[in-house]
Structures are given as structure tokens and as C-alpha cells.
A and B are shown apart, each in its own frame.
Chain A
Amino acid sequence: MVARKAKKKSKFDVSNELLAGLLIVAISLSVANFFTGSITGYGTNSQETDVSVEIEGVTAINWTTDTLDFGSGAVDDGYDEAVLDTYNGNVTDGNWSATSANLTLENVGGDYVNVTLESNLTANQLIGGTNPSIKWMISDEEPSSCGAIVDSAYTEVSITPGKEVCSPLYHNTTNNTMTVNFEVTIPIDATAGNKTFALTATGSTATQVS
């Protein structure tokens, strides 16, 4: 037994010279790093450092319904303009098909978000003619989805930089969806042709109030 122990111990022996060498290397590296702060065996650029990323939450929104098409039509004879209204689901003085379809935006992330809407075109740019109009109206799709709503009645759309219309849009699965309805006024002298405009929703992380 004593012989075995002695044998084991002798296997583990390290010479003083080796230990002294290791110590000198370690101390040298420490001193050099203290003054330069740049000795690593990993990076090739002296300014480089490793960065670990920790994502605490996800800000993500998505149009559940992302297209709205009123179809084709014309202003009725004898009228100055036609009005297409998705909230009331009707068309006044025009022969477009009435629709109550609208756009639905959902907070699909884990953060509260403030929602800003922005149109890429004004009514004049899109439709032309005398007094054209494109208005939006914001509402909750699921009850209490928005903390506060701006433009809860029909209001002319905003272009860059847009308008914050829902703050915040909550992320809970039962109240995280808002709706955008449209009222489009097309004058008799509007430029004929296909009309398309884009509506961009931007969700910015909002402070959560507990």
C-alpha cells in the first residue's frame, strides 16, 4: 500500500524548473496585458473583443391582413365624387363593390409596442382631381388592445414621418390586435387607372407599466 502511494506521488511530481518556467510565462503575460490590454490568443485585431448578446425581449408586429382591394369602379353620373367606406361597409355615389374588409395589425412579439402608421402617398398624389381624400380610422380589433388610440375617427392619412396611433399595442394573446379602416373619396375628375398605396406600420418598444 505504501509502495503504491509512493508510486502515485512520484507520477504527479513536477520539476521545480518546469514550475518556475510556467510561473515566469504567466507573470510575463499578466504584466504585458496590464500595460497593453491587448494580448489575447483569439482576436487578430488589437481592438477586437468578444461580445456575447443577450436578447431580453422581441419587438415584432405583423399585418394579419395586409391587403385591401376596393376593386374597380367609377363615380356615378351627376355626382361630384364617390366615397368608399370600409367601416360602414358601403360605397356612396359610385359603383365600386362595397366592402367592410379592413387591415389588421397584431403585436406578435413579447414587448409592448407603440405603433406608428405612415402612408407612402397623399390623396393628391394617388388619386388626383378636385379634393380627393384618403382617411384612416384606428380601433381595437380585440377589446383593450391599445392603451390609447389616436385617430379613432376618420382622419387624413399621414406621410413621413407618420403618426403614432396606438400606444401601446399590448402583447397578450387576447388583446394584441388593432384594426385600420379606410374612407376614400374619389372625385369625378380623378385620374383614371389603377391606384395602389402602401401603409407601413412601425412598432417601437414601449415601456411596460406593471
Chain B
Amino acid sequence: MKLSLKDRHTQIMIILAVVLIAVYFFYGGSESVTADVTEDDSQAEISFAVEEPSNEISDTNEIGEIEDGSTQS
């Protein structure tokens, strides 16, 4: 088969090829990459309050004093 630039089919093929090449260059020949979404964080909160004990036991061993001046342990 002899190709001629005057032939209609040859013209169509050439125009189509030029258009395809132009589109390829315009969009830069993109590549596909798969993104891995592999991790997720979530936060919870735990709370409480600590009060001072209401009646602490004293460590002091007090010595009582009797009015007559003697002592009682």
C-alpha cells in the first residue's frame, strides 16, 4: 500500500497522531501511585479528683495533765 499525503486516510491518520502526541505532552504522561492510608489516632481522657482525707489520725501521743499537777500518760 502506497502512502500519499494527498490520500484522505493518510491525512486523517497524521492529524490523529499529532493530536495524540500533543495531548500526551500537555498532560505530561502521568503515573499512578497508590496512597497507603495505614494509620489513625484517636484520644480519650480519664479524670478524677483526689481530696485530702477528712480526719487524719494524729501520730502525736499526747500526755494529759491533771489539774492537781500530776501527769497521766
Provide the B26-46 mask, 1 if CB < 8 A to any CB of A, else 0.
111111111111111111111
Query: For B51, what are the chain A residues with a Cβ–Cβ distance below 8 Å?
Result: 72-74, 192
Given A62, A192, A199, which contacts B45 in the complex, CB threshold below 8 Å?
A: A199
**Is the C-beta of B57 less than 8 angstroms from some C-beta in chain A?**
yes
- Name the distance in Å between B38's Cβ and chain A's nearest Cβ: 4
Closest Cβ–Cβ distance, residue B34 to chain A (whole Å): 5
Chain A positions 53 through 65: 1 when the CB is less than 8 Å from some CB of chain B, otherwise 0: 1111111111101
A16 touches B6 (CB 8 A): yes
Given A72-B51, A194-B49, check contact A51 B30 (CB 8 Å).
yes
Q: How far is the CB of A53 from chain B (nearest CB, A)?
A: 5
A78 CA / B40 CA spacing, docked (Å): 46
The count of A-to-B residue pairs whose CB atoms sit within 8 angstroms is: 187
Contact, CB under 8 Å: B55 / A77 = yes
**Chain B residues positioned under 8 Å from A56 (CB to CB):** 34
Contact A77 B54 (CB under 8 A): yes
The reply on B5 being an interface residue by CB < 8 A is yes
Contact with B along A1-27 (1 / 0, CB 8 A): 000000001001110100110110110
Within 8 A of B (CB), among A180-207: 180, 182, 184, 186, 188, 190-205
Q: Which of A42, A77, A127, A200 contacts B27 (CB 8 A)?
A: A42
Which of B26, B46, B57 touches A197 (beta carbons < 8 Å)? B46
- B30 and A191 contacting across the interface, CB-CB below 8 Å: no
B55 to chain A, nearest CB (A): 5
| Contact pick for A194, options B8, B41, B47, B53, CB 8 Å | B47
Residues of B1-42 whose CB lies within 8 A of A: 5-6, 8, 11, 14-15, 17-18, 21-22, 25-42
Alpha-carbon separation in the docked complex, A16 to B41 (Å): 65
Name the residue of chain B whose CB is nearest to the CB of A54.
B34
Q: Tell me the complex Cα distance, A11–B50, Å.
A: 93
Q: With A and B bound together, what is the CA distance between A61 and B65 in angstroms?
A: 70
Top 6 nearest A-B pairs by Cβ distance?
A40-B28, A50-B30, A70-B48, A72-B49, A74-B51, A41-B26
Q: Kindly list 18 other residue pairs between chains A and B, CB separation below 8 angstroms, not including A26-B18, A50-B28.
A: A52-B30, A52-B33, A53-B34, A63-B44, A68-B44, A68-B46, A70-B47, A72-B50, A72-B51, A73-B50, A74-B51, A127-B50, A186-B50, A194-B49, A195-B47, A195-B49, A203-B39, A205-B37
